[in-house]
Structure 1
Amino acid sequence: MKPAVKPSTSRRKFLAQASATVVAASVPYTFTASRSLAQSKSQRLGFALIGVGGNGTRTAPVGKQFADLVALCDVDSNHLAYGNQLLCDGKADLHADYRDVLTREDIDIVQISTPDHWHTKILIEAMYAGKDAYCEKPLTLTIDEGKLIRKVQQETGKVVQVGTQQRSSFNFFNNALAVIADGRLGKLSKITVGIDAGGWSPEIPVAKVSEGLDWDRWLGPTPKTEFRYLADPKKDSARNYTNGHTHFRWWYEHSGGKLTDWGAHHIDIAMLAIAAAGQNNDPVSVGGKSKHDVDFKDGVAVQKNRYNTAREFDLNVNFAGNDVVINIRHDVDNGILFEGELGRIFVNRGKLVGKPIEDLVAKPLPDDSIAKIYRNMPMQGNDRDAHWANFIDSIEKRTLPISDVHSHMKMLNVCHLAGICCRLGRTIHWDQASETITGDELAASMMSRPYREGFEIDMGN
């Protein structure tokens, strides 16, 4: 349960005013359709969905507007059967091994929607196989994986769109960035990022692997471990506990908890805002307080039968110049509160509010404000629709998409540093130029993890 925390008086007042004045920022912008939508069936690209779970089945229907979904791949035959009926009327080619997908000449694009620990290996091998890729966030499990992905992307020239679709949110996030870029908040001083508390579990016993699931292949590059599962006593399937499907994000072995889940969305926008304000967004340190439900020794969870990612956190990210700080919290509204010398605004997926937003009625932003935020690329639709359209347009033009791997990793490294801070319980210092943790040998060793034998990355040699 989310802890009951009373906001400060000023914050309560601000949020009350904000809720009463939900004002959409009206910024003229031309939405341009991607040429692919007008292509004939024979000209459309073929794509495959690798990872047919929740995110996969939510995002693939959007992709079907722009390309033909011809194949599904998953290590769970139940996911394959369900996804085939839901997405393809039972007509898709089904694969248990993603490598079979990568050899197919009729597949131009892969959508990678696996658990986080598989992203890097599949993405790198897909690029070497000549595929462009839409990969869900967080792009990597570690900092060093990001360095490798960026190297391979530059080497191969493949287009990779990271699934941080808030970068394609015309209604809220892009408008917030445009307001900040136009100087309406002045110099930013503090950005509070609310990402909710992490997952909780009781002790989860070892259990028989679910029928149809290839557990060894699901684990892939991560250490061999026993499958755990506990059904919710109230028979609420959404509250079942496991170290497998859906709940993988609550285990450091497979993810980074809330810090790389919601953090990968909101910290992304926060860092873009710092740059939009003309301030330095090179991180130098992450420190603060956190709470786990298990004990840690040298950054590794001691207990193996409960969720082990951070449940609570109050972390500060400092940047070169020290003129702005990002405060990452579990106990405030999900969203981003920007505070500057001239005012403040709050944005999430449901609203964009604050006096600088109300002032747009009398003093609108310049007509090209959103276009500049969107790198002057054509935008169609909003959120996932626009994000996929941008991906296809970037494939056609062979340009970096709006959520490219290079800018994504600068943000995601902050999420990873925050996770290392929580696991070690101390401030982590970062050198952006060398992309290295400094002054802490143990923390620096956590920038990478070994791959399990037999699941190393195939570098295309």
Structure 2
Amino acid sequence: MTVPRPLDRRRFLQAATGMGGAAMLSSWGGPAGAADSPNDRPVFATIGLRNQGWNITSKSTQFADFAAFADVDANVLGENLEKLEKQTGKQAEGYKDYREILDRDDIDAVMIGAPDHWHTKISVEAMLAGKDVYCEKPLTLTIDEGKLIEKIVKQTGRVFQVGTMQRTENNQRFLTAIAMIRDGRIGDIRRVTCGINGATGSPEIPAIDAPKGLDWDFWLGPASKVPYRALPEMRKGYGGGVPLYTNCHYAWRNWYEYSGGQMNDWGAHHVDIATWALGAGDTGPNKITPVSYSLPVEYKNGFATVTNQYNTPTNFEIHVNMPGDIPMIITSEGDNGILFEGTKGRFFVNRGKLAGKPVEDLESNPLPEGAVEEVYGGPVSANHTANFIEAMRARTQPISDVWTHNRMLETCHLANISIRLGRELNWDPDARQIVGDDEANSFLSRESRKGYEINV
């Protein structure tokens, strides 16, 4: 089965009576139980609710009705059920086990905000249960997980949106940046630099009892069985209300067992835009070189030698050879954002600004009409969820499809492998294998803990 790509969505939208995406959302006719919905809107459920899980839910209530939530932390689940009722005036059912949501016939799609190590299992099982999927980035913990998700999307024909929302939102800054490159505003690309911030290590974190209400074993899921760890100091600001140093809520991004550090966090955003701009969404890199890096603990054969401290990189400079021998630099230094350099100039873009002389020149020499829409593949949606629902209507793949996301994410995964092993990697983008390095190839997959295997 061939699954249509975003260009098909563009043709669909152009044929749809000229209405914009937001207007089209008023006549939902989805694949499962939504035809019986009294207000004719798709019915969603969210699995994994802390921080980003609630964020994507909150932004989506204008387009969909939420019938169910699932979270392994009873405190997080109860808090978010209350927030949903306060925001929408409607109640949802709450579950600890996400599989009870997948068993329901009235759910059209699930939004997945669980930690990265759960993404693939939940996504695959949701698609096999007949649900469309919106999953937070990064989509996978390994490269082979990405291949599996691609296989199941093709097998089931489900619509799958990855939460790389920079493709849709942020005042079209990133779309404009790509349109400028396509229009030749900086000539031929000579270098791209992705600034994705550094990180910090941690002190030794003791093993303690898990907080009341948290099913720690279920939270670990496919990952190895280890004790819950935390220090008393609490995190402030975004992600607050939990221990600052822990192997659970929020701080799980600092552990390779559950995520990939900054490389798979901010990297999954900025490397995505850079790869899209270079037109490399179907190929990705061919060489990854770790120029410099710092790990917070000692490593042996690619694995941390201690289990009670953060283990993902704190600082790094990675050189990536992209198609056409264009260098991409992924660095923890400098401003967070993307610097594009070409034969005729350069400019910088992030969530707060689009700056540089080529940008200033747009005032007197604007981009051709429709240039941004051409990048997006049609009228730019109201937000990332709106684009997802448009694709659900048309039964096409949305703007952040799994294929281009996985190709981009292969860069981030390979960068992490090169750091863990301390050496350059040559990548075959056709075979999707590391060339001549069996040890490195062993990091392309992982074994799930018994009882938490992926059911296919």
Say if 2:160 is the partner of 1:160. Answer: yes
Structure 1 stretches lacking a partner, 5+ long: 1-29
Say if 2:304 is the partner of 1:301. Answer: yes
The verdict on how the C-alpha distance between 1:216 and 1:280 changes in structure 2, with shifts beyond 3 A counting, is: closer
Shift of 1:380: 3.1
Match of 2:83 among 74, 83, 86: 86
Q: Please, which moves more after superposition, 401-410 or 56-65?
A: 56-65
Match of 2:413 among 393, 416, 438: 416
What letter corresponds to residue 143 of structure 1 in structure 2?
I
What letter corresponds to residue 222 of structure 1 in structure 2?
A
3-state SS of 1:33 partner: helix
3-state SS of 2:39 partner: helix
Q: Please, which moves more after superposition, 280-289 or 184-193?
A: 280-289
Name the counterpart of 1:257.
Answer: 261
Q: Deviations over 1:110-160 (max 9, x none)?
A: 000000000000000000000001100000000000000001001101000
What letter corresponds to residue 25 of structure 2 in structure 1?
S
The verdict on how the C-alpha distance between 1:234 and 1:131 changes in structure 2, with shifts beyond 3 A counting, is: closer
* In 2, Cα distance between equivalents of 1:191 and 1:201: 31
> % of aligned pairs identical?
48
What letter corresponds to residue 369 of structure 2 in structure 1?
D
Name the counterpart of 1:358.
Answer: 360
What letter corresponds to residue 118 of structure 1 in structure 2?
W
Match of 2:22 among 18, 27, 33: 33
What letter corresponds to residue 216 of structure 1 in structure 2?
D
Q: Please, which moves more after superposition, 235-244 or 43-52?
A: 235-244
Name the counterpart of 2:328.
Answer: 326
* In 2, Cα distance between equivalents of 1:134 and 1:195: 24
Name the counterpart of 1:340.
Answer: 342
What letter corresponds to residue 321 of structure 1 in structure 2?
G
* In 2, Cα distance between equivalents of 1:346 and 1:258: 20
What letter corresponds to residue 218 of structure 1 in structure 2?
W
Q: Please, which moves more after superposition, 230-239 or 53-62?
A: 230-239
The verdict on how the C-alpha distance between 1:282 and 1:81 changes in structure 2, with shifts beyond 3 A counting, is: closer
What letter corresponds to residue 391 of structure 2 in structure 1?
S
Name the counterpart of 1:392.
Answer: 389
* In 2, Cα distance between equivalents of 1:91 and 1:368: 42
Say if 2:199 is the partner of 1:198. Answer: yes
Contact kept? 1:318, 1:325, Cα under 8 Å: yes
The verdict on how the C-alpha distance between 1:46 and 1:325 changes in structure 2, with shifts beyond 3 A counting, is: same
Name the counterpart of 2:455.
Answer: 458
* In 2, Cα distance between equivalents of 1:379 and 1:193: 24
Shift of 1:281: 5.6
Name the counterpart of 2:43.
Answer: 46
Aligned residue-pair number: 423
What letter corresponds to residue 187 of structure 1 in structure 2?
D
3-state SS of 1:152 partner: helix
3-state SS of 2:351 partner: coil
- When normalised by structure 1's length, the TM-score is 0.89
* In 1, Cα distance between equivalents of 2:192 and 2:448: 36
Shift of 1:91: 2.1
Match of 1:370 among 369, 372, 385: 372
Name the counterpart of 1:283.
Answer: 285
Name the counterpart of 2:227.
Answer: 226
Matches within 5 A, 1:422-441: 422-441=419-438
* In 2, Cα distance between equivalents of 1:220 and 1:112: 15
Name the counterpart of 2:61.
Answer: 64
* In 2, Cα distance between equivalents of 1:95 and 1:267: 35
Shift of 1:218: 0.2
**RMSD between superposed Cα atoms in Å:** 1.9
The verdict on how the C-alpha distance between 1:156 and 1:34 changes in structure 2, with shifts beyond 3 A counting, is: farther
Structure 2 stretches lacking a partner, 5+ long: 1-18, 29-36
* In 2, Cα distance between equivalents of 1:280 and 1:406: 7
Contact kept? 1:319, 1:325, Cα under 8 Å: yes
What letter corresponds to residue 196 of structure 1 in structure 2?
N
Name the counterpart of 1:110.
Answer: 110
Shift of 1:239: 6.2
What letter corresponds to residue 417 of structure 2 in structure 1?
I
Contact kept? 1:280, 1:321, Cα under 8 Å: no
Say if 2:216 is the partner of 1:215. Answer: yes
3-state SS of 2:447 partner: coil
- When normalised by structure 2's length, the TM-score is 0.90
The verdict on how the C-alpha distance between 1:233 and 1:264 changes in structure 2, with shifts beyond 3 A counting, is: closer
